[in-house]
Structure 1
């Protein structure tokens, strides 16, 4: 049993944060907080710590925009953390598979035929495997950051377009952005009853 869950949680947040920064594009701390589903103040604290350790450097752009760039030392640390958490990500795969399959089985029993996905990341494909196993169809795939792309042959559309698929269940398939997507879906008129999300949190998986 892991005797240091807090340290694991903190190192995971650092890993996820550095993964968001590796492209080196201008991004606000508020955007990072929304993508990772953590508090803005916590993002600020982690960024300061990463800068202090020499893992991240800050580059200023016009209009108060900033790019947080991983240094060579930061890339090395990210690789180290990724290796350290590999077994946990395998655990996350298994939990996602079982969690999504249980949800889809329940929705099918309630009469659902189609389900939409909201948010595209590495876990979305796992959810799709469970969707097919449960005998349901994929109605739409939405993610405002991936518009114009595709997911297993299906076009990725904006959330306003995606909800036009009808009064059907929507599964948020990007755990770090559950809060962000839930808020937007509710604003677009989707009922709380039709919004579903993983029953676990990243922090719980990585204990």
Structure 2
């Protein structure tokens, strides 16, 4: 059964986060609260974990997975950025946005889009998500926790644990999250394309 770590939403206990990070490092999937909804995270370089993540969500290899990054510096390690892309991401992050970018060589081919060689990039604005990234030894991939066949993400950690008790290694419980997913912007095309409207307001970035 998935472990349940009850965390303070603003000052999460580092001891528990280290335990959660170890579960991820060992190949487990963990449900994590973010500023938009709960997400499932796994090690970037763990093929089995990525396969389990896609299976849990019912996703094929053409669905963009998202790299969770600590800051802009880390984004530039995993994605190719020009000046205009950098300025837009700097304006929006941290926050409820996912940006589609050309993947760098640091991203395994099995994780990037098979034909476009792109990857989703996100810097979450949530104390627990950020603290987990600090504790993890590895880069983390993620996807919004939307059950296969549903349109909206799960927001209640107890519901998540009951539904996925055999698929997840742990659930980080910081209370109920917002029910909106991130807004997804494709920055590999000009002008940038709004792929999915979510919590982030495109008008804030000069997009309609």
Q: Is the pair's TM-score, using the shorter chain for normalization, greater than 0.5?
A: no
The structure, 1 or 2, with the larger RCO (C-alpha pairs under 8 Å, 6+ apart) is: 2
Structure with the bigger percentage of strand: 2
- TM-score for the superposition, normalised by structure 2: 0.27
- TM-score for the superposition, normalised by structure 1: 0.27
Structure with the bigger percentage of helix: 1
Structure exhibiting the larger radius of gyration computed from Cα positions: 1
